[in-house]
Structure 1
Amino acid sequence: MASPRSPPFRAEHIGSLLRPDELVKHRYAVADQSATPESLVPIEQKAIRDVVALQQSCGIHSITNGEYSRHQFWGTFFETLNGMEEVNLREGGYDMSIFRQYAPDVKSFMHAKTIPNSVTVATGKISHTGKSSYLPEFEFMKTLVPKDQWKNIKITLASPSWYHFRYGPNRAYVKGVYANDDEYFADVAKAYQAELSILYEAGLRNAQVDDPNLAYFCSDAMLSGWKADPLNFQTADEQFAAYMKFYNACFERPADLHLGIHLCRGNYLNSQHFSEGAYDNIASIMFNTLNVSTFYLEYDTPRAGGFEPLKFLPRNKNVVLGVVTSKFPTLEDKKEMVERVYKAADFVAEGESTGTREEALKRLSVSPQCGFASHAEGNALGYEDMRKKLTLVRNIADEVWPGEP
């Protein structure tokens, strides 16, 4: 079996890694103005150097900066676009009725602290500024690995619908800015294409979109809430189809830019997740419609259902199986995880009339199910626990795909 020299690699991870306490505390100090932004730079850069070395020592080839230059997983892409405004920063606040109360993350936020993080909407026409908020991450990473490995550096990107799904119909933009979602989607897509173009010109060849929203369409609780909402002007299936078209417009890119998408079920403080439900509801349409090369799927607990939907995976797509949890320190049994990979491969093969397990395995990889620290404080496990998890992923990959990176 030929060794793949480009992503996805057999041993992958989702991007975010546990931050050192010094980095977390110093970023909060900058936020409360007890420290200067300039003083954060050497601390952040040292932490990134260390975490790159950690990934390399664990045998991980798809290297990220651990998202150490961000406070939360999606970064500041939307916040830095022309036309977008963090209305939660306005004096006097904003209208709380804009939210979908049944959106899984909104529902959890409301229960815990009454408002979601970063309430950002379009208050003017959206366009890219020409300056990428992700580019500095990539440029610094290029200084840490040899040039022939730049193609392996992975930058994680915000979901195109991140600031659309959480708001009710026509509430992702203020009245008068856009007449409908199609107009909003068109401008976001142009901005997304501009972002990918900037990163590609700088040398990026490996990108991953982190997307909780598509996984929410697997949730029976969310679907029930959607159906009961009298303000919705389309069914959940129609909204999902609209997202497929919207995402594909966003994802227009050169053929040699590998783009994957991680379907996240929530990764918040103290290892919380937000939604449950098998991929059956969306797998066939998503696998065969969405213009990405790789799907990073969460399979660490029964909340994601079984591997049966992998029967719909087309021959030109890959799946990274998130069978190792990033939420808790207990280490999975390697033999059991290897067997799960083989079981998944059998379902992929079942979807092809002449498929075999060996052929199916060529399109599979393994990873933790999510990041270790989608937000600053991270999940309920320690740094050494994370190291052991990443090493386990590498060991599983070596067992299933010996000799492959």
Structure 2
Amino acid sequence: MADAAGHPFEADASFDGGDLDCGNGLLLLIRQHIDPLEPGQLLEFRSTEISVEEDFPAWCRMTGNELVSTVRHGRERSFLVCKGPLSTRRATARGARPPLPVTHAVAEVRIPATLPPPAPTPAIAPLAVMGIGSWPRPRWMLQAIHDHIEGRLSEEEFTSTAEDATRLAVAAQARADVDVLTDGEQRRDNYASFVGARLDNCQLIPLTDLLPLVDDPVKFEQEMQSLDVPASDVRHPALFGPLGRRRPLAVHELEFVRSLSDRPVKIALPGPYLLTRTMWMECISDRAYRSREHLAEDIVRVLREELHFLLAAGAALVQLDEPVLSEVVFTGAKSARSFMCGALSEKGDAGRELAFATQLINGVVAGLPPERLGLHICRGNWTRDERAALAGDYRSLLPVLQQVEVGSLFLELCTPRAGEIDVLKELSVERRIGVGVVNQKLDRVE
């Protein structure tokens, strides 16, 4: 059945893209509208920007969606695209779940007038055993995450599934008799980018959506493949307005674990430098922020808000993840990627970047009890290929480790690539050092 615009099929959803081009917000709108659709359903959008006719087919090829037809009406062009191959349309037309509503208006930022103080919690034993944070997710949990991000699984259904997965992760830790529990980050699609689905004016888009925005898409894709990163499945946060935190990032995770056990609970959050590197994409982020430093101010604010509420809700320990710091010191400013995060961002001189990171971390934790705070650093975790992973000891990171105002340092030391523990003797004896001793990349039990 042809639609009114002259396309061979009627669209399941549509929107007007106006004069936006693919590098200035149109791809974000396309993603917001196509994600809730079932495979085989059709999206129609209109555009008056002439470059879209050339750029959009390339996006379709890279993302695996099929451009069905293009119709011209004077200056305006109408594009009909199928989610996935058009051949799947008939197979999925019957019984498809209706898509959830699409909302993409810029939300007003709300900043709390006051932040709650930390609640008292029992002290953690000096030689406590705990995981860094993540725990393997069942296949059904991974599918639920994927469906939820795309808007095809309601919040209620997702929460019920995630709580089942969290019960399994907590029970496994209890059987191992760990001293401090985590929720295994079961709800998170990724240790860092998950915040893009919870912060105001931010959304998660597949890495393949970024390919048209980089100078060398082929090189970018090759770098992702070298890290074993499935670019079509992994999502990256993209900003379309100023950051706000109307919903908690992880307080709900903490509260559920505490309902299952009386043991102390640790919550991991992506650190401010990691999030700044991840979220600053000059071709997108500069519509909301004038510079990377301007964006970092708001990242510090929302993380500080979350940190206060986590400690007030009884988190025994909150860990800031800053693994990308190792990339700063072990690679050059323009070298190939070792992390999926910061897909479009550039890093500068190592000394300036480390000083910037230290400033951001201390801005988040200022005035809070250091014994309840930790910092985690590793060398990348996407690929099992040791040849592609970063190597180097912690000597070049000692200035950061000495200056950050946290009481615990969680450091990877499970492979020869991480160097020797003797380097850490220069750190204050008042610091608790959590040594990572299990290599989770191995199939065999060590």
Which bracket does the TM-score occupy, shorter chain normalised? 0.5 to 0.7
2:273 is equivalent to residue 153 of structure 1: no
Partner of 2:186: 68
Could you say which structure has the greater relative contact order, defined with CA pairs below 8 angstroms and 6 or more residues apart? 1
Assess, with a 3 A threshold, how the Cα gap between structure 1 residues 92 and 51 changes in structure 2: closer, same or farther. closer
2:392 is equivalent to residue 278 of structure 1: yes
Partner of 1:6: 124
Residue aligned with 1:119, SS: strand
Gaps of 5+ in 2: 1-121, 337-344
Give the one of 407, 415, 430 matched to 1:301: 415
Residue aligned with 1:282, SS: helix
CA contact (8 A) 2:136 2:184 kept: yes
2:408 is equivalent to residue 311 of structure 1: no
CA contact (8 A) 2:329 2:350 kept: no
- The amino acid across from 2:397 in the alignment is A
CA contact (8 A) 1:135 1:199 kept: yes
1:29 Cα offset (Å): 5.2
Partner Cα separation in structure 2 for residue 299 and residue 79 of structure 1 = 32
Partner Cα separation in structure 2 for residue 259 and residue 106 of structure 1 = 37
Give the one of 242, 250, 262 matched to 2:376: 262
TM-superposition CA deviations, 1:222-266 (whole Å, max 9, x none): 45629xxxx979522111111111111122252166111211222
* Mapping for residues 6-405 of structure 1, pairs under 5 Å: 6=124, 9-28=127-146, 30=148, 37-74=155-192, 76-86=194-204, 95-97=213-215, 107-109=223-225, 117-129=234-246, 131-146=247-262, 149=263, 152-166=264-278, 171=282, 174-175=285-286, 177-220=288-331, 222-223=332-333, 225=335, 234-255=348-369, 258-268=372-382, 275-332=389-446
1:154 Cα offset (Å): 0.9
- The amino acid across from 2:248 in the alignment is S
TM-superposition CA deviations, 1:121-170 (whole Å, max 9, x none): 444333333x2121111111121113xx3xx11111112123432578x7
CA contact (8 A) 2:199 2:249 kept: no
- The amino acid across from 1:184 in the alignment is L
Assess, with a 3 A threshold, how the Cα gap between structure 1 residues 272 and 82 changes in structure 2: closer, same or farther. farther
Normalising by structure 2, report the TM-score: 0.60
Q: CA RMSD in A?
A: 3.7
TM-superposition CA deviations, 1:155-201 (whole Å, max 9, x none): 11112123432578x72863354333332222211111111112222
Assess, with a 3 A threshold, how the Cα gap between structure 1 residues 322 and 172 changes in structure 2: closer, same or farther. farther
- The amino acid across from 1:125 in the alignment is P
1:39 Cα offset (Å): 3.7
Residues matched between the structures, number: 315
- The amino acid across from 2:307 in the alignment is L
Partner Cα separation in structure 2 for residue 328 and residue 245 of structure 1 = 36
Residue aligned with 2:353, SS: helix
- The amino acid across from 1:13 in the alignment is G
Partner Cα separation in structure 2 for residue 106 and residue 166 of structure 1 = 19
CA contact (8 A) 2:325 2:354 kept: yes
Among the aligned pairs, what percent are the same residue? 21
- The amino acid across from 1:140 in the alignment is F
CA contact (8 A) 1:265 1:273 kept: no
Partner Cα separation in structure 2 for residue 199 and residue 269 of structure 1 = 32
1:96 Cα offset (Å): 2.4
1:5 Cα offset (Å): 3.7
1:35 Cα offset (Å): 5.8
